[in-house]
Amino acid sequence: MHFFTFIFIVAAFLLTLKSIKQYVGLRRFRGPRGAGWSRLWMLRVLTSGRMHKYFGEVNEEYGSTARIAPSTLLTKDVSLIRRMSAVRSPYTRSKVYEALRLHPERDNIVSYRDEAIHGQLRTKMSPGYSGKDNPNLEMEIEEQILNLIALIERSYTSDSERYNPVDLARIMTFFTLDVISGIAFGRPFGFLTDNSDPFGYLQNLRMMLPAIMFFSVYPELLGILRLPAVQYFFPKASDATGVGKVMGWAKESVAARFGPNKIEQKDMLGSFLAHGLTQEELESETLTQITAGSDSTSTALRLALMHIFTHQGPCSKLLEELTNGLKDGKISRPIIRDSEARELPYLQACIKESLRLYPPVTGMLSKNVPPEGDTIDGIFVPGGTSIAWNSWGMCHEKSLYGDDPYVFRPERWLLHDKASPDDEARLQAMNDTVWMVFGYGRFGCLGRPVAMMELNKTIAEFVLRFDCRAGGGLEKMWDEESFGFFLHRNMWMRIEKRDDKLVWGKDKFHAQVE
């Protein structure tokens, strides 16, 4: 008994010494009360559903780099974030990334901490994401845009005699899930055509994200998940609903690319296979594509549309730009081309402003300081310290975006004729910062080309074809939670069809009907 008492005392003493060492090492960084000694503040924030707001407040109050746990800093310093993610940076992914392993048995490109494996996967997968190996990528996205338009016209248009409100959050999630499954597997899930969630995916996501946040705070507990008794409750490919059913879909789609009767297609899955991914790697990566790719893009889409349609001035200007583009023959029908959308300055301003106002990913994505330590803001930071990014704070920085960073104002992205070199430099800094919502350097998002194509084409077509208003009023336009990704509900919208002559362009419309 005395022996175990001695062991307990020694362990307690060593833990106390470790805590004191951690506290002293980062004592010059300010932060919330108690955060220097315990991870409880971080746990409360990450599981609160309001982590983006808390993170914004922390860096606003305690400085651009603040302390949020004994060995964790939070930063909105763009130069520091770039330095950590640069191609040859000595910073490495922290244990937080291990909580992002969605497949119960295998890592993915997001969860790997081994820099060599991560780099090899990026090299193999980038041609598939960029569209180089998929000549039909844009056509496949267009097909789902047309399915989205058909669903709205079929079930959710209102007029003077009827009111059919639609939850924009719901149908945009359906849309992005069908897009990513279509371009990844060569066959969409069918959420839009069925107007339902047969997988129970949305409900499962609301359960899964808070759990990921918990293990992000206490990654040392991830070992519990490998116990057979715990794995019994994990999603399985044989499940009838939720992430398990998505796993089953992925497994079935991947298996079809192997064997004597294998399917050969020039799509994203075909590209990954051609560049050397194994069957097991493909199953894990496609599952990650679906969850991370669809949720972030869905957030960007629904928030952009909500902000555009609830601000009359920007909506009118964007509609004018689009209709003028139709009249001048610069916009294709039935769907605008991605290359055409990129040439519309006000559309691009609206997209950037919405991404800035609501960066789709708010998770910590922390990196570890190299063993030799580093100097930040003139303060030495011990090796092994985790530094998390604050995308919300970064995108609402008053010194860069002005005194109204919480206002939707696309004009901030447009230079006037008499712009000075300082104005041009500031705009360049704004652009460099907002695109960091897709990550940076060796940790940049591979799916950015696909996401931007969805944003460019879908927003333009939505504004051209529909006149929308917030269905729930302006006081509370939606219910919102943030657990690394945003969860939105009750984003009600009233949608009316615009005149077909406006949608097609006058001359083209007459040619069509004749």
* 513 pLDDT more than 50: no
Alpha helices (runs of H) in 265-311, residue ranges in sequence order: 268-274, 279-288, 294-309
Following CA atoms 106, 111, 117, 121 in sequence, which dihedral angle do they give, to the nearest 10 degrees? 90
Poorest-confidence range of 67-71, 361-365, 460-464? Answer: 361-365
User: How many structural domains is the chain composed of?
Assistant: 1
**Sign (positive/negative) of CA torsion 29, 33, 38, 44?**
negative
Q: What is the DSSP string of 259-276?
A: STT----SSHHHHHHHTT
Edge-to-edge strand list for the sheet holding 367-368: 65-69, 72-75, 386-389, 367-368, 92-93
Alpha-carbon distance 407 to 49, whole Å? 22
**CA distances in angstroms from 508 to 34, 435, 502, 511, 512, listed in the order given:** 66, 36, 10, 5, 6
Q: Which residues have C-beta within 8 Å of that of residue 333, sequence separation ≥ 6?
A: 326, 504, 505, 508
Residue with tokens 């590209």: 271
- CA 449, CA 440: separation in Å to the nearest integer? 14
Would you call 433 helix, strand, or coil by DSSP?
A: helix
pLDDT in tens, 85-102: 999 999 999 998 888 887
Q: What's the average model confidence in pLDDT over 472-491?
A: 85
**Largest interatomic CA distance in the chain:** 97
Judge whether 458 and 354 are in contact, CB under 8 Å: no
Q: Is the dihedral of CA 94, 97, 98, 99 positive or negative?
A: positive
Binding site members for heme: 445
63: left (phi over 0), alpha (psi -120 to 50) or beta: left
CB atoms within 10 A of CB 435: 16
First to last CA, the chain: 96
CATH of the domain at 320: 1.10.630.10
Answer left, alpha or beta for residue 321, where phi above 0 means left and psi between -120 and 50 means alpha: alpha
Q: What is the DSSP letter of 470?
A: E
CB 29 within 8 A of CB 23: no
Q: Which positions make up the binding site?
A: 445
Give residue for tokens 């303060």: 379
Domain that holds residue 149: 2-513
pLDDT in tens, 324-363: 999 999 999 999 999 999 999 999 999 999 999 999 999 8
Assign 167 to helix, strand or coil.
Answer: strand
For the chain, give the percent of residues with pLDDT over 70.
90
Would the pTM count as exceeding 0.85? yes
Q: Which stretch of 6-10, 183-187, 322-326 has the lowest confidence by average pLDDT?
A: 6-10
Non-local CB neighbours of 366 within 8 Å, separated by 6+ positions: 72, 94, 96, 386, 387, 388, 389
Which pLDDT band, with edges at 50, 70 and 90, does 250 fall under? confident
